[in-house]
C-alpha cells in the first residue's frame, strides 16, 4: 500500500515539473523585454537604407513600412531581438524614362544648319519586354541580401513570373528573395529559421 502511494506521488511530482517547465517555456519568451520604437526603427535601417514610414507593435512583432529607392516595403520584425522575419514589396517605384538627348552638332557639310527631327520617340511594344536571366536574378538578389546563393527556382502567380533565390548569409541565416522575372524588382524577402533553431 505504501509503495503505490510513493509511485503515485512520484508521478504527480513529475507531471508538476513538466507543467512548470512548459509554462516557463511558453511564458518566458513573452516576458523578454521588447525593443523600443526607436530601437526597432534602427534595426530596420541597419538592414535596409531608406525611410521608415510607419511602425506598429502587434502581438510581439513590429510591423514597419519602409520607403527605399526601389519602392515601398512591409517588414515584420521580432519585437524582442529586432531580427527581420519577412519583407514584402508593396509598391515598386516607377523609374523615370530617360529620353535620349539630341546631338548638338551645329552644321552639316555645306553650311546648312541641322534641325532636330520632329518624329516622336518609338514606344516599346509589349512583346519587347526584357526578361531577367537566372544569373541576373541571382545578382539582384545578392544586392538585396549579401551572402552565398544556394538554390534558384522559378514560379508564376497573379503578379507574373518570378525567381526564388535562396541565399545563405555569413551569419548562418537563410533568406529567400523573390525577384520579378520581367522588371528585376525585389518582390519579397523571407527569412527562414536556422536548422538548429528548435531548442
Structural domain 33-92, CATH architecture: Roll (3.10)
Alpha helices in 83-156 (DSSP H): 134-144
Contacts with 179 (C-beta within 8 Å, 6 or more apart), sequence order? 132, 137, 140, 141, 162, 163, 164, 165, 185, 186, 187
In angstroms, the CA 83 to CA 25 distance is 20
In the numeric block, which cell numbers belong to residue 19? 507543467
In order along its 199 residues, the chain shows pLDDT tens digits of 678 888 888 899 999 998 888 777 666 555 568 888 888 888 888 888 888 888 888 888 889 898 887 788 888 888 888 888 888 878 877 655 444 544 444 444 454 444 444 444 444 434 444 578 889 999 999 999 999 998 998 888 777 788 999 999 988 889 999 988 888 888 888 988 766 544 4
Position of cell 551572402? 147
In angstroms, the CA 117 to CA 111 distance is 18
According to CATH, what is the number of the domain 130-199? 3.10.450.40
Fold match between 33-92 and 130-199?
Answer: yes
* pLDDT for 68: 83
Contacts with 191 (C-beta within 8 Å, 6 or more apart), sequence order? 83, 84, 85, 86, 173, 174, 175
Instruction: Report domain extents, the chain.
Output: 33-92, 130-199
Would you say 54 and 15 are in contact if contact means Cβ atoms under 8 Å apart? Answer: no
Q: At residue 169, what are phi and psi to the nearest 5 degrees?
A: -90, 165
Amino acid at each position: 500500500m505504501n509503495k503505490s502511494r510513493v509511485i503515485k506521488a512520484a508521478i504527480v511530482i513529475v507531471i508538476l515539473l513538466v507543467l512548470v517547465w512548459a509554462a516557463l517555456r511558453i511564458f518566458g519568451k513573452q516576458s523578454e523585454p521588447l525593443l523600443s520604437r526607436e530601437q526597432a526603427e534602427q534595426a530596420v535601417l541597419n538592414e535596409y537604407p531608406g525611410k521608415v514610414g510607419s511602425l506598429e507593435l502587434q502581438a510581439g512583432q513590429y510591423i514597419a513600412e519602409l520607403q527605399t529607392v526601389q519602392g515601398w516595403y512591409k517588414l515584420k520584425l521580432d519585437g524582442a531581438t529586432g531580427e527581420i522575419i519577412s519583407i514584402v514589396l508593396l509598391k515598386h517605384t516607377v523609374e523615370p524614362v530617360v529620353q535620349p538627348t539630341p546631338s548638338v552638332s551645329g552644321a552639316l557639310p555645306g553650311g546648312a544648319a541641322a534641325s532636330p527631327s520632329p518624329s516622336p520617340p518609338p514606344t516599346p511594344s509589349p512583346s519587347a519586354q526584357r526578361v531577367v536571366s537566372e544569373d541576373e536574378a541571382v545578382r539582384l538578389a545578392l544586392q538585396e541580401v549579401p551572402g552565398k546563393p544556394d538554390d534558384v527556382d522559378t514560379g508564376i502567380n497573379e503578379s507574373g513570373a518570378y525567381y526564388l533565390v535562396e541565399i545563405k548569409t555569413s551569419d548562418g541565416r537563410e533568406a529567400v528573395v523573390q525577384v520579378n522575372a520581367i522588371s528585376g524588382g525585389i518582390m519579397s524577402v523571407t527569412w527562414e529559421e536556422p536548422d538548429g533553431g528548435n531548442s
